[in-house]
Amino acid sequence: MNRRILLIAGARPNFIKIAPVHKALSAVPGFDVKIIHTGQHYDREMSHLFFDQLGIPEPDINLGVGSGTHAEQTAQIMRSFEKVVLDESPDMVMVVGDVNSTVACSLVAKKFQGIDVAHVEAGLRSNDRTMPEEINRLVTDAISDILFTSERSGDRHLRAEGVPDEKIVFVGNVMIDTLQHHLERARETGTVAELGLKERGYGLLTLHRPANVDDPTVFAPMMEAISRISESLPLVFPIHPRTRAPYERWCADRGSRPPGIRVQEPLGYLEFMHLTSSSSLVLTDSGGIQEETTVLGIPCLTLRDNTERPVTVDEGSNILVGRDPEAILSAATETLAGRGKKGSVPEGWDGRAAERIAAHLRSCWV
């Protein structure tokens, strides 16, 4: 009999991660996979666009939870997902990443008749417990039965936390599976020319971490430094919905919009990947973008004090710049002077991570 897996996704980076996993599990016999969308992200350009572009089948069930405080959102996902688990009685719930949907569905699965939980992208640690994602990672990993890791630091953290070796399975990075699979198509979108940009003649900016955007005393000086960079390098800024209001407030407070910063609605994956691959510099606080720039060899300045993805700094093109305006400016100046970091591609970031996940599950179950 086929094993029934519920594959969970709720927020933008989750969709990019489940695409290759769903495909790999569907390509081998033995599994019935259903996609459960929690509805954490719901705008077309934060959700459905990714299903269309990446060829992910329509979710079998959409819980439609929407936004809320952490407690409201997590609780609402748990309440709705419990009914799904009761109806479906799956053999396994598979979660990806570190968002509220990840922890909420893991808790429901494990506490409800002890259904196995598999966590894709396990073991990442920023060691910063003020980050909501760090709490989600710690809780999810603590109750997971199979911990698929994307970089070796994940294996080390899990071992140090007492997870037995047999539960830890290094498979590499599923986000890079998606990148490798779609890069050619991304280039065919012609987004760079469409926006009137020139190869390597612009930078790309994304910001959405609460620690960066929610507090104006952090956001404003950071944005001033970024606007200085945009005087010599035009910056494209596909703006996350969380960041829209803080950005508008910052522009209103200073009485002008920096002409070098081009604000866009969030972009589709293909358009965004084309822009990333042709840029000369990426400024970001995203988790996934640190990984994608590493594989593309594009210098990435991460506007955070820590990263849960240290391999992107140790081996890749990522520099942890922090939030200090002078540090941001000087790192950008260095990069634009041709002294940007190039780096190399980490182990297992080869486009085959999801295949390894499917192979491991088959070996456990047949």
- Contact footprint for ligand UD1 (CB under 6 A): 11-13, 40-43, 46, 67, 73, 98-100, 132-133, 208, 240-242
Binding positions for ligand UDP, 14-43, rule CB under 6 A:
16
CA quadruple 26, 29, 35, 36: dihedral, nearest 10: -160
**DSSP track, 244-279:** HHHHHHHHHHHTS--TTEEEEPPPPHHHHHHHHHH-
Instruction: From the candidates 22, 37, 157, 208, give the one annotated as an active-site residue.
Output: 208
Q: Comparing C-alpha atoms, which of 125, 130, 122 is closest to residue 148?
A: 122
* Site membership for ligand UDP, residue 298 (CB under 6 A): no
Report the residue number, 16 or 117, with the smaller CB distance to ligand UDP: 16
Report the residue number, 126 or 277, with the smaller CB distance to ligand UD1: 126
> What are the beta bridge partners of residue 205?
283
The dihedral sign for the CA sequence 299, 240, 207, 47: negative
Report the residue number, 240 or 304, with the smaller CB distance to ligand UD1: 240
Binding positions for ligand UDP, 237-266, rule CB under 6 A:
238, 266
* Site membership for ligand UDP, residue 203 (CB under 6 A): no
Residue from 3, 12, 304, 352 binding ligand UDP (CB under 6 A): 12
CA distance 95 to 9: 7
Report the residue number, 96 or 353, with the smaller CB distance to ligand UD1: 96
Contact 221, 325 (CB under 8 A): yes
**70 catalytic per annotation:** no
Name the minimum Å distance from CB 164 to ligand UD1: 28
CA distance 276 to 270: 10
Report the residue number, 67 or 333, with the smaller CB distance to ligand UD1: 67
293 binds, options ligand UD1, ligand UDP, none, Cβ within 5 to 8 A by partner type: none
* Site membership for ligand UDP, residue 289 (CB under 6 A): yes
Name the minimum Å distance from CB 133 to ligand UDP: 7
CA distance 270 to 286: 17
Contact 94, 21 (CB under 8 A): yes
Q: What is the 3-state secondary structure (H, E, C) of 164-227?
A: CHHHEEECCCHHHHHHHHHHHHHHHCCHHHHCCCCCCCCEEEECCCHHHHCCHHHHHHHHHHHH
Name the minimum Å distance from CB 188 to ligand UD1: 25
Phi and psi for 108 in degrees, rounded to 5?
-60, -45
Name the minimum Å distance from CB 244 to ligand UD1: 8
CA quadruple 191, 193, 199, 201: dihedral, nearest 10: -100
CA distance 153 to 136: 17
Report the residue number, 13 or 20, with the smaller CB distance to ligand UDP: 13
Binding range to ligand UDP, per CB under 6 A, among 8-16, 188-196, 294-302, 309-317: 8-16
Name the minimum Å distance from CB 40 to ligand UD1: 5
Active site residues: 208
Residues that bind ligand UDP (CB under 6 A): 12-13, 16, 206, 208, 238, 266-267, 269, 272-273, 286-289, 292
